A and B are shown apart, each in its own frame.
Chain A
Amino acid sequence: MGYHMSLSIRLTINGQPRDVALDDPRVTLLDLLRERLHLTGTKKGCDRGQCGACTVLVDGRRINSCLALAASMDGAQITTIEGLADGETLHPVQATFIAHDGFQCGYCTPGQIMSAVGLINEGRAGDDPERIRELMSGNICRCGAYQGITEAVLEAQKILSDDEKRDAA
């Protein structure tokens, strides 16, 4: 497969299949989401993998969309902050970030929330705040809302695991 001018890829974004024609292979997943698909919830902080503001889920795994080439994502399922809430009902991670003041200016928040969803899916932190902080270290918060963020992740994880137990019962 060789591409020069135009390149067409298929993505499933927040559950919706999208065919996207790329006129230039240089576009990153982050720029595709923000500039072309107008999903501006995902933020650009550093554009170099150093802040986590651009975190999205690709096939359920959190990654930095600023360092992912859109063309290489062909066929992937992408979840962004816009895809988390169920209508008017917030995702538990969104709700606990509000309840615990997990932000101040809010710029890092979409990335923090997507990262927290990824962390909970990975299931490696248990209820250890030190593990949560370590596994959230890829998300920088210039406002320093870390205390609230850690509490929000812990509580959201508890809500989600209680839900799971209830569903299993």
Chain B
Amino acid sequence: MTPFDYIRPATLPEAVRAGSAPGSAYLAAGTNLLDLMKGGTLRPERIIDITRLPGLDRIDWLHDGSVRIGALVRNSDLAYDDRFARTFPAVAEALLSGASAQLRNAATVGGNLMQRTRCAYFHDPASACNRRSPGSGCDAREGENRLHAVLGWSEHCIATHPSDFCVALTALDAVAETEGEHGTREIAVDALHALPGATPEQETALAPGELIVALRIPAEAARFAPRSRYLKLRERTSYAFAIVSAVAALDVQADTIRGARIALGGVAAKPWRAREAEASLIGAAATAEAFARASELALAEARPSGDNAFKIELARRIVARALALARGGTPEIMPALPASPFSTVPGADHAA
């Protein structure tokens, strides 16, 4: 790590002022920031420790039934909050499928949203990487790119966003509340992460120094509580990032789908909401044929960015299977292996 100054502000305005100076980086739990600093990908001159900012570690239920989650709430505390897990089970399942128990105990929700890509070349300062060092090129294009993007990528960058949590949030229309030098604003989680285009270094919609203070999930998303799942395929059973993942949430009444939410992880530089696929399900019966059609639509624009054509067919199957699992109903208790296709909970449809 290169040397830095350490600052621990006591108030939000102080934090934003310090964080807006060039060379500053916010420190939450540090599980991503310190990792990137050790490897030399990030070299901040000033670390602004936000962990002591007051009031950001609460889960509040608002009068309209929506929930407001402070940016410093730990991933495990949110996933294990009973009311939260009952109301937004796919979000809890996504959280519990991420990283390890130790990391989830430390990691904050703000840090999870703002974590960076796991592209190996981004993590290696000796490699060319437009995202880390604009204009230097992209070593992933001709390199190890089995796990890279199949949707929304550009010639300049083919990286994926690694968060599981964000996939479920995007599906449920969650919104981030931010505070910056120019005041407060709200950004839909779906609009928080940018596709690379010609400027992959512009990773998010946040201005320099803009701090996420909370997340909100609208009350309306609770209608999916009885039928929502997160499904994540990994290269080992646990403690691994997604190769491909999907959240599926259904509102089924009298055998007809009244509402549907679908988003994919591991396929693009942002969590990928599949709105056309959702629309195709409205008014349809919840059948395997309808799910297959939706999965085709979800991947209609996909193309390989390297050695990863397999991810397209895999993603279709993960979407179709996530929908089938959602139709089967949210499990009574969290599966022993959250989000795993190999889970042994009843209702898991191994033949899908």
- The 7 A-B residue pairs whose C-beta atoms are closest, nearest first, are A138-B100, A25-B6, A137-B238, A130-B336, A137-B239, A63-B106, A67-B31
Q: Verify A1–B337 contact, CB threshold 8 A.
A: no
Tell me whether chain A's interface is mostly helix, strand or loop, or mixed. mixed
12 cross-chain CB contacts under 8 A: A2-B5, A4-B5, A24-B3, A25-B6, A67-B31, A67-B106, A71-B8, A118-B105, A122-B76, A130-B336, A133-B238, A138-B239
For A61, the chain B residues whose CB sits under 8 A away are: 105-106
Q: Mark B35-49, 1 if CB is under 8 A from A, else 0.
A: 100110000000101
Shortest CB distance B26–A (Å): 12
Instruction: Determine if B3 and A49 form an interchain contact, defined as CB atoms under 8 angstroms apart.
Output: no
A52 interfacial by beta-carbon distance below 8 Å: yes
Nearest B residue to A29 via CB reads: B30
Number of interface residues of A (CB under 8 A): 39
Interfacial residues, chain A to chain B (CB-CB below 8 A): 1-4, 7, 24-26, 28, 47-49, 52, 55, 61-64, 67-69, 71-72, 74, 115, 118-119, 122, 124, 128, 130-131, 133-139
Partner of A128, one of B7, B31, B238, B336: B336
| A130 close to B38 (CB less than 8 A) | no
Shortest CB-to-CB span from A58 to chain B, Å, is: 8
Contact string, B101-122, partner A, CB cutoff 8 A, digits 1/0?
1110110000000000000000
Known A67-B106, A119-B101, A138-B100: A3·B6 in contact at CB below 8 Å? yes
Q: Does B256 contact A (CB under 8 A)?
A: no
Contact with A along B65-107 (1 / 0, CB 8 A): 0000000000010001000000000000000000111110110
Q: How far is the CA of A135 from the CA of B39 in the complex (A)?
A: 28
* A131–chain B nearest beta-carbon distance, Å: 5
Q: How far is the CB of B33 from chain A (nearest CB, A)?
A: 9
Asked if A138 and B101 make an inter-chain contact with CB atoms under 8 angstroms apart, the answer reads yes
Q: Which residue of B6, B9, B47, B100 is within 8 Å of A137 (Cβ)?
A: B100
Q: Which of B10, B238, B336, B338 contacts A1 (CB 8 A)?
A: B10
Main secondary structure of the interface of B (DSSP, over half): loop
Cβ contact within 8 Å between B238 and A134: yes
How many A-B pairs have beta carbons closer than 8 Å: the answer is: 105
**Range of interface residues on chain B?**
35 or more
Known A-B contacts: A71-B49, A134-B337, A135-B101. Give 12 more (CB < 8 A).
A4-B5, A47-B38, A49-B35, A68-B29, A68-B106, A69-B30, A69-B47, A72-B8, A115-B101, A122-B76, A130-B337, A137-B100
Neighbouring A residues of B1 by C-beta, 8 Å: 26
Contact in complex: B8, A1 (CB < 8 Å): yes
Q: Write the chain A residue with the least CB distance to B340.
A: A134
Task: Tell me the bound Cα distance from A14 to B136 in angstroms.
Answer: 49
* Chain B residues with CB below 8 A from A49, complex form: 31, 35, 99, 103
| Chain B residues near A62 (CB-CB < 8 A) | 101-102, 105
Q: Once the chains bind, are A3 and B38 in contact (CB under 8 Å)?
A: no
| Contact across chains for B99 and A138 when beta carbons are under 8 A apart | yes
Beta-carbon contact of A25 and B51 below 8 Å:
no
The answer to whether B4 and A118 touch across the interface, beta carbons within 8 angstroms, is: no
User: Which of A7, A74, A131, A138 has most B Cβ within 10 Å?
Assistant: A138
Taking CB atoms, residues of chain B closer than 8 Å to A138 are 99-103, 239
